[in-house]
Structure formats: structure tokens, C-alpha cells
Amino acid sequence: MFFLINRQAVLQSPSRRYGEILATVPLPVPHFSPSVDVVELRDEDRGKIFMSSAYIENSPFILIHVKPVEQAMGRWFNLRSELLGFLVLSTALILGVVVWGANQFVRAMRRRTNAGSRCSTRSSTATSWRRSGAWRRESLTRSTTRSPSSTRRRG
């Protein structure tokens, strides 16, 4: 709400909240400033308010604008809440994907390790079989145990 006061805090325009013309305003008169000033005050009825003031050049009047802090900052508080919610959800999603990916990676490594241990057991058995010379004995026993019909020449 906007209204005009003079330097003695007397209303020069009607105000819905602070009375009719020529009534005294219960707000402090702002100090002179060539630019717009904004201060946070406590109003008896409304609680915390923002009061902005601007001195009008070449006149004894001051333009005053009063707004409750909740009304002025409401959009910012909503935006802050939305951004915090987005941050929390994004963090939870990222953590979920990281944990899921780590679990998939560990499972794949375990599968490869298990498959590799089976292969290495087979290869180590085959290697020890070759080194022991068992293959020679086996091939010798195969050739000596052939049946006479298999050793005949075909002609």
C-alpha cells in the first residue's frame, strides 16, 4: 500500500491501514536519502513489514510503501522450497543410480571370477595331465589294446 506523509509523520493521502488524511502514522519517519530506502520494521498489528520510502524532490512529502514480509517474500520462500525439493530428489536419484551401477559391476565381476576359476581349474588339470606323461601311457594302452580286426589291412 502506498501513501504520502510529510516530515512530521502526518498522512497527506488516505491509507486503508493507517488512517485518513491528517492522521499521524505510527511508523518512524525515514531519514533523508536521495534514493529509495527499504527497512524492515515490526508493526503492532501485522508483525514484520518492509517499509520503503522515497523523498520527493522540491516538496516536503515522502512516498511510503508498506508490505508484510510474508507477502513480499512469499514467492522467494516458495521458490526456495521447490529448489530444495528438486535438490533432494536429484541427490536421491543420483545415489540410487550409483548404488545400482556398483551392484551390477560387482555382480559382473563375481560372474567373471567364477567363470574364470572354472576355466583355470580345467586348464590346470589339463596341464598337469600333460606334464605327468599320462597322455603317453594312455596312447600306448590304446594302441596295444586294439582288436585284431581293427589292425587288419584292407586291401
Question: What confidence score (pLDDT) does residue 73 get?
Answer: 84
pLDDT at residue 74, as a whole number: 83
Whole-number pLDDT of residue 137: 61
Instruction: Kindly tell me the burial class for residue 3, based on how many C-beta atoms sit within 10 Å of its own C-beta (0-12, 13-18, 19 or more).
Output: buried
pLDDT of residue 62: 95
- The residue ranges of the chain whose pLDDT is under 70 are 46, 118-155
pTM over 0.85: no
Q: What's the pLDDT score for residue 108?
A: 93
Instruction: For 102-143, write each residue's pLDDT tens digit.
Output: 999 999 999 998 887 765 555 555 555 566 665 566 666 665
Tell me, what's the pLDDT at 109?
Answer: 93
Helix or strand or coil: residue 104?
Answer: helix
